[in-house]
Amino acid sequence: MQINYRLIVIAALSTCILGCENAQEEASAQKSVLKQEVPQAQPSMTPPEGSPSAGANIIFAFDEFDFGTIWDDKPVDCTFPFMNHGDKTLVISRMKAGCGCTTPVADKTVLQPGEESVIRVQFNPKGKSKKQDKKVTIFSNSSLEPEKTFWIRSYVQPIVDVNPKFVQLGEMKMGQETTNTFNFTPAPDDFVISRIRGIGKHGQFISGELLDTPEGQPKQILIRVSSDMPWGAFHSQLEVTGNGTMPDGSPVSHTFTVFANGKAFGNLKADDFIARLGSLRSGGSYNKRIRIYRADGEMFAITNTTILSPNVDGLNATAVQVPSTEGMAYEVVVSGTLPANYVGQVSGELLVQTDVPGEEVLRFRITGVVPKKN
């Protein structure tokens, strides 16, 4: 019997090719499965023993979550499982966090009897330090606890520890440069500053410079306020950015901010930079006096007073020369009558014009409030 070896070889090759193709398809399918993102299992809770309560009833698996020690550069999240262990529909009307750094979000706000859901809470530790306890309150139609609270806790470790965070520049003299310093200790040993810049209302008048300090001592930055600072209250921030390696070996780019505030005078001085109207009443009258004087005894004149951007009608300002033991002085009086039934903030800007060179325009904030009646 003659054997057709050519056919056998072709059949074997075909089987081999098909087998390889099938193996490749299976391997590809396995890779595809591995590449898929498997959804994380949602936390669940064990229903309590006993029959459901009459009405809606919100219960949580736990009412406290401790993040432990965390760095201050990234938000952290946790999840609170809860359920309706009642015989009526549960409706969550609102959620309130005790701090703007804490954000609660419920997956569902309407739950049928026996239904479960979760509340996700994010905590942003930026600007925080040391022990932090934040409360979240859930308002619902729960018959037993219409106001249910739970807590998140943490100990915040700053990537850069700054001391002080608020630098007091004190009273500064226009035309003269002012300097001050602050210390900082970064967690990365190799932290290198890449940028220092002034920000905020008067950020263009402020700069910073890294000083040389002995090894093992806190690092130090010199704050420099330029001589052309404006007259009045001075509010600025120094933003510092750097890079380094964290203790766990991960690279980090971090920015921290230091507040630098003070007041700047030239020849003219004032006893306040804010016309503080205080607590007011609807339809009531008010007046607030700010004294502006020239300590060197030279004559000067206030040529005009104007109220800018008032949020209520009736704000007025007048200037009256008054006797003074500190040289020539004026009192600028902010006065007016509030609209009837007005409730809320009272604000604006008082602009005073003078004939003193370099101090021709003086600016003052106006603040007050009409509280809501209980």
Query: What's the chain look like in SS3?
Result: CCCCHHHHHHHHHHHHHHHHHHHHHHHHHHHHHHHCCCCCCCCCCCCCCCCCECCCCEEECCCEEEEEEEECCCCEEEEEEEEECECCCEEEEEEEECCCCEEEEECCCEECCCCEEEEEEEECCCCCCEEEEEEEEEEECCCCCCEEEEEEEEEEECCEEEECCEEEEEEEECCCCEEEEEEEEECCCCCEEEEEEEECCCHHHEEEEEECCCCCCCEEEEEEECCCCCCEEEEEEEEEEEEEECCCCCEEEEEEEEEEEEEEECCEEECCCEEEEEECCCCCEEEEEEEEEECCCCCCCEEEEEEECCCCCCCEEEEEEECCCCCCEEEEEEEEECCCCCCEEEEEEEEEEECCCCCCEEEEEEEEEECCCC
Please write the tens of the pLDDT for every residue from 100-133. Answer: 999 999 999 999 999 999 999 999 999 898 999 9
- 7 falls within a domain: no
Residue where a domain stops, chosen among 157, 183, 204: 157
Residue where a domain stops, chosen among 223, 239, 265: 265
- Pair (284, 332) in one structural domain: yes
- Pair (273, 365) in one structural domain: yes
- CA angle centred on 165, ends 161 and 167, rounded to 5°: 140
- CA–CA separation, 31 and 226 (whole Å): 62
Q: Which residues contact 41 (CB under 8 A, 6 or more apart)?
A: none
- Pair (192, 244) in one structural domain: yes
Beta bridge partners of 244: 252
Closest CA to 242 of 270, 283, 208: 208
- 19 falls within a domain: no
Q: CB of 105 within 8 A of CB of 150? A: no
- Pair (283, 212) in one structural domain: no
Q: CB of 241 within 8 A of CB of 193? A: yes
Number of domains the chain is built from: 3
- 10 falls within a domain: no
Sheet-wide strand order for 147-157? 64-71, 147-157, 130-140, 90-97, 110-111
The amino acid at residue 302 is I
- Pair (230, 174) in one structural domain: yes
pLDDT at position 6, please? 40
- Pair (294, 358) in one structural domain: yes
Q: CB of 349 within 8 A of CB of 365? A: yes
- 211 falls within a domain: yes
- Pair (96, 65) in one structural domain: yes
Splitting the chain (374 residues) into consecutive groups of 10 residues, what average pLDDT does each group show? Answer: 38 39 37 30 67 92 95 94 95 94 96 95 93 96 95 96 96 96 96 97 97 93 97 96 95 96 95 94 94 89 96 94 86 95 95 96 96 78
- 326 falls within a domain: yes
- Pair (204, 136) in one structural domain: no
The CATH number of residue 124's host domain is: 2.60.40.10
Can you give the residue range of the structural domain that contains 235?
Answer: 162-265
pLDDT at position 310, please? 95
- 13 falls within a domain: no
- Residue 354: C-alpha distances to residues 160, 266, 293, 338, 348 (Å): 45, 13, 11, 29, 20
Q: CB of 260 within 8 A of CB of 237? A: yes
- 1 falls within a domain: no
Instruction: For residue 16, count other CB atoms closer than 10 A to its CB.
Output: 10
Whose structure tokens read 């419920």?
106
Residue where a domain stops, chosen among 249, 265, 281: 265
- Pair (260, 273) in one structural domain: no
pLDDT at position 335, please? 95
- Pair (282, 321) in one structural domain: yes
Please write the tens of the pLDDT for every residue from 265-302. Answer: 999 999 999 999 999 999 999 999 999 999 788 899 99
Instruction: For residue 360, count other CB atoms closer than 10 A to its CB.
Output: 12
pLDDT at position 43, please? 54
pLDDT at position 187, please? 95
Instruction: For residue 134, count other CB atoms closer than 10 A to its CB.
Output: 18
- Pair (253, 281) in one structural domain: no
pLDDT at position 8, please? 36
- CA–CA separation, 221 and 240 (whole Å): 10
- Pair (243, 291) in one structural domain: no
- 28 falls within a domain: no
pLDDT at position 323, please? 87
Whose structure tokens read 């009526």?
88
